[in-house]
Structure 1
Amino acid sequence: MFVIFALKDDSNKGSFSASGAWFPLALFFLIFGIGACFGYETGYAINLARDFGPRLMSYAVGYGHEVWSAGNYYFWVGRV
């Protein structure tokens, strides 16, 4: 949120001001960067509403604690 607020702030005139036509591109790189950094470990779980609900329901119907470690490389290496 802080990065988005900083990008949209018109009074923020740093070395790169993205508060105009550059905002969509800067927002794309922000979301892409978050996904590239955390996507492998968390299954690209940026939107909590689309990630937590299905995991909670899967856990409730009996899939066990494995639903909380989806995408965790070290968990799956031991099972292969």
Structure 2
Amino acid sequence: MDLVVSLDNRYFNNKFGGTDVSIENKNEGFTHIFVSTFESTEGIAEYLYHPAHVEYGKKSLPYVEKFIVFDYKPTIVKL
């Protein structure tokens, strides 16, 4: 099932992912990352409860040991 194609893209901007390539070995056991961007918090809610996302979760979660979710608004940080 292609989750992105199934979603109404009014709020959903893009999705990308990859595997850990860090040489620091600080991944806490996590090996993959998937990132989705949204226009608004309403878009996050639409994605979270969309039937295609719910179905994808049901099919994929049995193969996932653990996961982390971060919802945030990008902020410019001056270092």
User: Taking structure 1 as the reference length, what is the TM-score of the superposition?
Assistant: 0.27
Higher relative contact order (CA 8 A, sep 6+): 2
Q: Which has the larger radius of gyration?
A: 1
